[in-house]
Amino acid sequence: MMAEGQYVLRVESSRNDFVIGLGFAVAGVLAVSTSAVLIRLAGSVSAFEIAFWRLLVATLALVPVALATRTLGAVRSLGWPRLAIYGATLAVHFVAYNAALQFAPVAHVLPLLYTSTIMLAILSAFLLKESLRPRQIAGIVIVLSGVVVLTGFEPRFGLRIAIGDGLALLSAAAYAAYSLVGRRERARIPLLAYAIAVYGSAAVWVFPFALLAALSAGASVARYDWQVVAALLGLGLIPNTLGHTLYNASVRRLNAAIANVIYTQEMTGAILLAWLILGEVPGVNAVVGAIIMLVGILFVLLP
């Protein structure tokens, strides 16, 4: 009877973790969906500067919360080597993502970014021994089919968009590694301390490149008008402080590939916002691709 009771408790705990992790992921998606539009609105400054300011703002925003919860001291438990590697990985993700959006449309970059889902499914199975059920694998394949539909009929494809595609794929690989690391470290360090450590380390990595980019542009303060400043603050507070921190919370409770496939819906939110704010009207392929991806996500999530 004792063993049976313990089994029921483990199953109930696992179910609760899934529901809470799912809630974190959905809330995080709403926050990160603003990222692409805010990056476009901050477009008069370089990809390095955008990455630096959003990471710095996010780090500074989380420090008071970590101090209040007395978790800031746990940052030391990561150790300098891991801190440097994790920060560099996140820095590559953000810089490549920001740069990709300066070369290609939102509806092109985000689907390629979320090819990280298939990368994560493979890495989680081999490195974390977290295999997926056949139905979940089928769901991921459906999601990626939606990605192909969404991006596969771009009438304006050329060298500039090809460069954006390459940067988006680089960002995807870094995002997959970043997601995997977040899941591995869940037992070692509290969430807030981990987020501050990684965001802060990434900001340090990006800073010299951001400074060089600013100097090469003449370091003109005029580039930072009210729209750019508001966009950079928004990037740091909404998609970074809220969106990425909630993502880190979700991968602590869900298989990282499942959390990542939920986050593919950043595309749907971002494409809608790009339509409403930037006037980038989505084509029929974007709408059909988004619907296919939603069907795939249902395959992944439904029991």
Q: What is the pLDDT of residues 40-51, one digit of tens each?
A: 888 778 889 999
pLDDT > 60? residue 253: yes
In a domain, 10, yes or no: no
In a domain, 13, yes or no: no
- Total structural domains in the chain? 1
In a domain, 4, yes or no: no
Domain containing 71 equals 20-301
The residues, ordered by sequence, that sit 6+ positions from 178 with a Cβ below 8 Å of its Cβ are 86, 89, 90, 93, 198
**Tens digit of each residue's pLDDT (9 = 90 or more) over 162-200:** 898 899 989 999 988 988 888 788 778 888 999 999 999
In a domain, 173, yes or no: yes
Contact present, 180 and 120 (Cβ < 8 Å): yes
Average pLDDT over residues 12-28: 82
**Tens digit of each residue's pLDDT (9 = 90 or more) over 201-246:** 999 999 999 999 888 877 667 778 899 999 999 999 999 999 989 9
Question: For the chain, what is the mean pLDDT?
Answer: 83
In a domain, 8, yes or no: no
Q: What percent of the chain stands above pLDDT 70?
A: 90
In a domain, 224, yes or no: yes
Type of residue found at 187:
A
- pTM passes above 0.85: no
In SS3 terms, the chain reads as CHHHHHHHHHHHHHHHHHHHHHHHHHHHHHHHCCHHHHHHHCCCCCHHHHHHHHHHHHHHHHHHHHHHCCCHHHHHHHCHHHHHHHHHHHHHHHHHHHHHHCCCCHHHHHHHHCCHHHHHHHHHHHHCCCCCCHHHHHHHHHHHHHHHHHHCCCCCCCHHHHHHHHHHHHHHHHHHHHHHHHHHCCCCCCHHHHHHHHHHHHHHHHHHHHHHHHHHCCCCHHHCCHHHHHHHHHHHHHHHHHHHHHHHHHHCCCCHHHHHHHHCCHHHHHHHHHHHHHCCCCCHHHHHHHHHHHHHHHHHHCC
* Tokens coding 198: 């990684």
**Tens digit of each residue's pLDDT (9 = 90 or more) over 115-171:** 787 787 778 777 777 777 788 788 888 877 887 787 665 556 678 888 988 999 899
In a domain, 137, yes or no: yes
In a domain, 2, yes or no: no
